[in-house]
Structure 1
Amino acid sequence: MTITHNNRWLWLAALVLLGWLVYRLSPILSPFLVGILLAYLGDPLVDRLERRNLSRTWGVIVVFALFTLLCMLLLLVLLPMLGKQLMHLYALAPQGLDWLQVTALPWVQAQFGLEDDFWRLDQLKSAFTANLGSTKDVLAVVISQATASSLALVTWLANLLLVPVVCFYLLRDWDLIMAKLRGLLPRRREETIMLLMRECHEVIGAFLRGQLLVMLALAVVYSIGLMLVGIDLGLLIGVLAGLASIVPYMGFVVGIGAAIVAVLFQFGLDPYPLLGVAAVFTVGQMLEGMLLTPLLVGDRIGLHPVAVIFAILAGGQLFGFAGVLLALPVAAVIMVLLRHVHDLYKLSDLYAEPAAEPPAPIEPPSQP
């Protein structure tokens, strides 16, 4: 019993030490975590290429080539379009404030009986307009801030270049690393630990691979649909809604809210663009609920939307960007462990029904 008790304290001390190391090393962990994430996502593709008699190294090279081609397409096609729409949004912001002050907010005041000076947008508009006039090129401002410290710029570039290096070596040796880690497991607990790891792998894999594909598909559907409706910022709103879909229904709420505001600002109260926006997001939700999520994700995640939001915010608050990357995998592992703790609790004596008391013996009637 003493050995088991000491082992428990040893494991607790190891977890505390691990948390402290992650906290202290969080400024340099980001490229390694991104590399691990990319290697984890690319390992199934390399395994499929290996099953087709291709060596592990060449499989990694092929996956890297495909990933590089995809990144180049995004850089050459999507990013310039998004940049133009961001600049367009930046230029339209003062007009948007005018529309709020002249059209939208007076209507809200009339409906709810608010005071005339309830909304104070004059100061905000003047400040934003002055800032717009003094910053003609947003990209130049960003670059000047980024190059203010040469050491920070060199560090950022080094981290960016470190990601593919870490990903390549991890992806090449992934199976070997997993085999060595399994060889370090306690022999008596190996099957139990591997069962837990398989469940964690199913949850994390379903979320990362499946949910990322769902996000990408929804971003494409929303962007194309909103651009067909004629919204100037359709691509930007569609991509934003797709990224927000990491939390179920969040993409729908964010996207349709931004799209309705854009339609009211661009078309006024014309009902046809509003009906078009409603049709786009209705089709998107139908595709997500009936096709994308069942096909790509399935029912293996089990992470509640509130748990997803809390995990992302808590990870970012505690460990910065590294914490955001770790948040969902750690939340998935905790969920699997809590599920087994719940099952053990149901089988324990603490949860069991109280033992039924034996019936009191019947005393014979007394003789007179």
Structure 2
Amino acid sequence: MSLQKQFTVWMVVLGVFILCLFLFRSVLLPFIAGMALAYLLDPVADGFERLGMNRMFATISVLMLFVLIFFFLLVLIVPTLAHQMNGFAENLPGYIASLQELIVKSSSDHLPKFLSDFDPTDLQNSIKDLVGEGASWIGKLIQSLWNGGQALIDMLALIVITPVVAFYLLYDWDRMVEKIDGWLPRDHQYTVRRLARDIDNSVSGFVRGQIMVGLILGVFYALSLSLLGLNFGLLIGLVAGLLSFVPYAGATLGLLVSTGVAIVQFWPDPVPIGLAFGIFVIGQFVEGNILQPRLVGERVGLHPVWLMFALLAFGSLFGFVGMLIAVPAAAAVGVIVRHGLQQYLHSPLYNGRSGGLIVGAPDDDTSDA
């Protein structure tokens, strides 16, 4: 089969796969979540096997441990988070109004003389419009994710189906990998295996490492803000840690929200306001210099801009399901593009007919002369 026919076949397969994702996106969430859970827990199950357990007992032990930890955290944290979320939603208009008043007052007191004719109400209206547009955009994004992930409505199906799917996939993981390996085209099996290994290293290095980074940062932010006495500190800290999965999003949002709440709550005392600001500065320093290099590393090959684009694009197309598959899809595309670029740099299309010698370059004798 010629290269052109092979490319056509694989493009058709990719198109059919994307079409199936789009058509069945409303029912895929429990299955995608179960697959992601099995992928994350497979190294733990392999570790239990190395301790002498058989695969069945290792799978049951890993899933039971995960379910116990999940429900333990659910019972401990979710009621408090729900209470703080309701309180934050009720107090948000008051916080925004207070911040507007402080900004307008400060600007009117400290404006230069040549701006004495400036009307503070214009600034207040601008802030109100900006906040309104931001809230509208966030609301549309949440609504899009909700509409695109209709399986979220049926939480019972998610809770019941996901562990079952994860169990079967985790139990048969190694056999499935071996089976799929047997389907590879024999002429390209080594190349496909290398690409699959690179994709797996990229996804596992980022996802598993970033989950640990998010948990550590979430706990640090939540405890620090709660000890500071900041209103809704637990909610703000945990959400900031969770959103750290998206580069710079968690820290930026947490910094803005916590500083805004601190200004309204503690004004005019600068110490707690500075501490709320400093907590996120310390968190970003620890993340960038300690957590990211040690837990995620630099070999994942996922540029922050490319990752943010993939999350937004897949989220808008497939809802919450799209956000689950955005990272592996972004990693796969990145690995394939790098492979294609490497092939191009070693091809006659790049090197020319000379097979590596740049056409038109002077030889050694001419350059010496």
Alignment correspondent of 2:330? 331
Alignment correspondent of 1:23? 22
2:28–2:151 contact (8 Å) kept in structure 1: no
Aligned-partner Cα distance in 1 for 2:89–2:229? 19
Alignment correspondent of 2:282? 283
2:222–2:234 contact (8 Å) kept in structure 1: yes
Deviation sequence 1:158-201 (CA, Å, 0-9, x none) = 23311111111111111111110001111221111111111100
Deviation sequence 1:68-123 (CA, Å, 0-9, x none) = 111112211111111121122133234324413432334346666553442349x9
Alignment correspondent of 1:250? 249
Structure 1 residues 289, 100: CA separation in 2 closer, same or farther (over 3 Å shift)? closer
Alignment correspondent of 1:129? none
Alignment correspondent of 2:119? 115
Greater Cα offset, 156-165 or 91-100? 91-100
Structure 1 residues 50, 117: CA separation in 2 closer, same or farther (over 3 Å shift)? same
User: Aligned runs of 1:97-176 on 2, under 5 Å?
Assistant: 97-108=96-107, 114-118=118-122, 119-120=124-125, 155-176=154-175
The percentage of aligned residue pairs carrying the same residue is 36
Structure 1 residues 24, 49: CA separation in 2 closer, same or farther (over 3 Å shift)? same
Aligned-partner Cα distance in 1 for 2:181–2:105? 66
* 1:304 CA displacement: 1.5
Alignment correspondent of 2:350? 351
Alignment correspondent of 1:224? 223
2:30–2:151 contact (8 Å) kept in structure 1: no
Query: Could you list the runs of 4 or more consecutive aligned residues of structure 1 that deviate by over 6 angstroms after TM superposition?
Result: 151-154
Instruction: Give the secondary-structure state (helix, strand or coil) at the position aligned to 1:231.
Output: coil
Alignment correspondent of 2:57? 58
Greater Cα offset, 43-52 or 93-102? 93-102
Deviation sequence 1:301-352 (CA, Å, 0-9, x none) = 1212111111011001222222111111100010011111111121122322
Aligned-partner Cα distance in 2 for 1:357–1:231? 67
Alignment correspondent of 1:211? 210
2:266–2:273 contact (8 Å) kept in structure 1: no
Structure 1 residues not aligned, in runs of 5+: 125-145, 360-368
* 1:155 CA displacement: 4.4
Aligned-partner Cα distance in 1 for 2:42–2:235? 32
Aligned-partner Cα distance in 1 for 2:243–2:268? 27
Aligned length: 334
Aligned-partner Cα distance in 1 for 2:298–2:31? 30
Normalising by structure 1, we get a TM-score of 0.83
User: Aligned runs of 1:30-109 on 2, under 5 Å?
Assistant: 30-108=29-107
Alignment correspondent of 2:340? 341
| Correspondence 1:239 to 2:238 | yes
Alignment correspondent of 2:258? 259
Instruction: Give the secondary-structure state (helix, strand or coil) at the position aligned to 1:54.
Output: coil
Instruction: Give the secondary-structure state (helix, strand or coil) at the position aligned to 2:359.
Output: coil
2:206–2:296 contact (8 Å) kept in structure 1: yes
Greater Cα offset, 216-225 or 105-114? 105-114
Structure 1 residues 152, 225: CA separation in 2 closer, same or farther (over 3 Å shift)? closer
* 1:30 CA displacement: 1.0
Partner amino acid for 2:360? A
Deviation sequence 1:42-84 (CA, Å, 0-9, x none) = 0000000001110111111111111111111221111111112
Deviation sequence 1:109-163 (CA, Å, 0-9, x none) = 6666553442349x99xxxxxxxxxxxxxxxxxxxxx9xxxx9898442233111
* 1:271 CA displacement: 1.4
* 1:358 CA displacement: 9.0
Aligned-partner Cα distance in 2 for 1:81–1:357? 71
Q: Which has the greater radius of gyration?
A: 1
Instruction: Give the secondary-structure state (helix, strand or coil) at the position aligned to 1:351.
Output: helix
Aligned-partner Cα distance in 2 for 1:299–1:310? 20
Structure 2 residues not aligned, in runs of 5+: 130-145, 352-356, 364-369
Normalising by structure 2, we get a TM-score of 0.83
Aligned-partner Cα distance in 1 for 2:277–2:152? 44
Deviation sequence 1:199-250 (CA, Å, 0-9, x none) = 1000000111000110110001111111122212111111121122112332
